[in-house]
Amino acid sequence: MITLPDNDNNTDDPMVFIIIGKAYEQDGGEGIDLHIMLRAPDDDSAVREALNALSEEGFLEADLDQIGTITEAPVDEPHASAYQGALEGEVAIIRFG
């Protein structure tokens, strides 16, 4: 009997991603450091959804530096609330500065 190997990377549930970057509200303006948390089936979809959300918030441009998945719920704010929002299908944008 042939069985498929058990692989922790294959999940039917969307993963919660965190994207770290900088976004710009004005052309040539100073960038705003931010973290974006959202659920998506893969990293390409996560980047696309993050850029769409930034555009809807009025950002003209963004430099996305890092992307990763969150394996445990954060305990510190504002990431704990953003994580909960991401689980509920929101795209959470955390601004710094």
What is the pairing mode between strands 61-69 and 15-24? antiparallel
- Per-residue tokens: 34: 């931010």
Q: Residue 67's domain spans which residues?
A: 15-96
Mean confidence (pLDDT) of the chain: 89
Q: Are 19 and 70 in contact (CB under 8 A)?
A: no
What is the pairing mode between strands 92-96 and 32-40? antiparallel
19 found inside a domain: yes
Number of domains in the chain: 1
21 found inside a domain: yes
CB atoms within 10 A of CB 79: 18
42 found inside a domain: yes
Say if residue 27's pLDDT is above 70: yes
10 found inside a domain: no
**Amino acid at site 49:** E
2 found inside a domain: no
- Per residue in 30-67, pLDDT (tens digit) is 999 999 999 999 999 999 999 999 999 999 999 999 99
8 found inside a domain: no
53 found inside a domain: yes
Say if residue 1's pLDDT is above 50: no
Q: Give the total residue count for the chain.
A: 97
Domain harbouring 30, CATH code: 3.10.510
